[in-house]
Amino acid sequence: MEEMVTAESPNCPFEFNFDPATFKPGDLVSYRVPERFDDMPFVGVIIAVEDDHILLAHNDGTENPEPVMRGTRESRPVVSAKDALGE
């Protein structure tokens, strides 16, 4: 990840959607698993959007969309350790 951000290209290589009102399938989000990793960011792709939550997959969801995790519908969704890690 460090190699992706350099002095010549200081921007994050991902374009995240931080606006829960506009979440749609395929959007990249920065989610977190505070039960185990505090505020550490993870990259996920939204699979489905419900009224009060989203379903997302780790990374871009193309290689292996399992597990599909349930996340809160907020700017940086929260995913439970059980969903993220199978605990």
Q: What is the pLDDT of residue 58?
A: 83
Where does residue 35 rank: exposed (0-12), middle (13-18), buried (19+ CB within 10 A)?
A: middle
Average pLDDT for 31-54: 95
Verify cis geometry, omega within 30 degrees of 0, for the bond prior to 41: no
Could you tell me the two tokens for 63? Answer: 């290689």
Counting residues of the chain whose pLDDT is more than 90, the rounded percentage is: 68
Q: Does position 59 have pLDDT exceeding 90, yes or no?
A: no
Q: Could you give phi then psi for residue 3, rounded to 5 degrees? A: -65, -20
Average pLDDT for 1-11: 55
Domain residues for the domain of 46 are: 2-85
Higher pLDDT, 84 or 1: 84
Split into its structural domains, the chain has a count of 1
Closest CA to 29 of 70, 4, 8, 60: 60
